[in-house]
Amino acid sequence: MSLDTANTTGFAAVDQEELKRARAARRERLGRWLLPLLVMALAVLVWNRVVVWNDIPKYILPGPVLVVSTLIHDAGILFPALLVTLEITLMALAVAVIGGAGLAILFTQNRWIEMSFYPFAVILQVTPVVSIAPLIFIYVDNRLVGLLLCAWLVAFFPVLSNTTLGLRSADHNLRDMFQIYGATRWQRLRYLQIPSALPYFLGGLRIAGGLSLIGAVVAEYVAGTGGIGSGLAFRILEAGYRLNIPRMYAGLLLIALTGVTIFGVLSFLSHLLLHKWHESAVKRET
């Protein structure tokens, strides 16, 4: 009888612990979304109060309400500009992916090519793009090509270095096995190295997504005013000259939102491709 009770309480204790763990997990899931939102809301509220209570003029610090209403009011100017910036960003990202992954494959196929060219990739990466950009715009007539080139310079390196690392990190026993089964170089690349490199590549892609937006914006600043099809950075610059501070904030908000969206989309893509097999995307039971 006493043994029975002991047993039951024993089981109940385990259940309590499991329940506690489940509650904690639920709280954490909720907190992950709720806490940043709360902090954000609080910050916006403080911003609003500071502006209202201190009667700060809008040409020094516009309040959040004014920024949002400017965003809506100036949508006709800002959204076409956003499209231009987005276009350059996505094109640069695409070229960075093709160029970075392509170079990585070339590097891993032939060590001599890697030895010859890798140092130059590093040089291009470590030289600040603002210092190269003016030269690019002198030599390259086409504005779009110039912008693309700048954004690409910033964005391709993480793809290149991560993919190179990934292509090399294929399990050596699997390599031996491919050799024993007489796999061709192409088969080894296709069935072994590229799948092994995928998680690394996707990590690089997430960094490159943010960097290509930065590259596009910086390039626009350097390219300066003038010309049709001007992007967000140009609009912010222009608003600055006119002391239209609310529009500067609205443009800034749009750029930040764009960056967050790109990161979110790429993270989702990474999850889609990896969640079935890769450790980073697998949920553990304990």
Partner 1 sequence: MAVQRRAIQPLGQRPRVLQMADVDKSFNGGVVALRQMSLDVHEGDFISLLGPSGCGKSTALRLLAGLSSPTSGRIAWEDPHGAGDLSVVFQEPTLMPWATVAQNVWLPFRLKGMRYDQVKDEVLEVLRLVGLEKFAGAYPRELSGGMKMRVSIARALVTNPRLILMDEPFAALDEITRHKLNQDLLELKAKIGCTIVFVTHSVFESVFLSDRVVVMAARPGRVIREFTIDAPYPRSEAYRTSADYAAQCRAASDALYQAMGEAA
Interface residue with partner 1 among 50, 83, 257, 282 (CB under 8 A) is 282
- Residue 269 CB, shortest distance to partner 1, in Å, is 16
Nearest residue (CB) to partner 1, 18 versus 171: 171
Interface residue with partner 1 among 178, 200, 201, 234 (CB under 8 A) is 178
Interface residue with partner 1 among 195, 227, 240, 264 (CB under 8 A) is 195
What part of residues 196-255 is at the interface with partner 1 (CB under 8 A)? Answer: 198
176 binds partner 1 (CB under 8 A): yes
Binding residue count for partner 1, defined by CB under 8 A: 21
Q: Which residues of 157-177 are buried (b: 16+ CB within 10 A; e: fewer)?
A: bbbbbbbbbbbeebeeeeeee
Helices 75-109/232-241 angle, 10° precision = 130
Rg over alpha carbons for the chain, rounded to the nearest Å, is 26
Nearest residue (CB) to partner 1, 44 versus 281: 281
Interface residue with partner 1 among 124, 183, 237, 269 (CB under 8 A) is 183
Among candidates 27, 19, 64, 57, which has minimal Cα distance to 42? 64
**CA terminus-to-terminus distance, the chain:** 33
Nearest residue (CB) to partner 1, 194 versus 214: 194
Nearest residue (CB) to partner 1, 253 versus 273: 273
- Residue 276 CB, shortest distance to partner 1, in Å, is 6
| List of residues 6+ apart from 253 with CB closer than 8 A | 67, 71
**Phi/psi of residue 183, nearest 5 degrees:** -65, 145
Neighbours of 267 (CB within 10 A): 14
119 binds partner 1 (CB under 8 A): no
What CA dihedral angle connects 64, 67, 72 and 76, to 10 degrees?
A: -160
**CA–CA dist 61, 66 (Å, integer):** 10
285 binds partner 1 (CB under 8 A): no
Upper half-sphere CA count for residue 203 (Cβ side, 13 Å): 14
What part of residues 156-175 is at the interface with partner 1 (CB under 8 A)? Answer: 171, 173-174
- Residue 173 CB, shortest distance to partner 1, in Å, is 4
Nearest residue (CB) to partner 1, 204 versus 231: 204
- Residue 286 CB, shortest distance to partner 1, in Å, is 15
Interface with partner 1 (CB under 8 A): 171, 173-174, 176-183, 187, 191-192, 195, 198, 276-279, 282
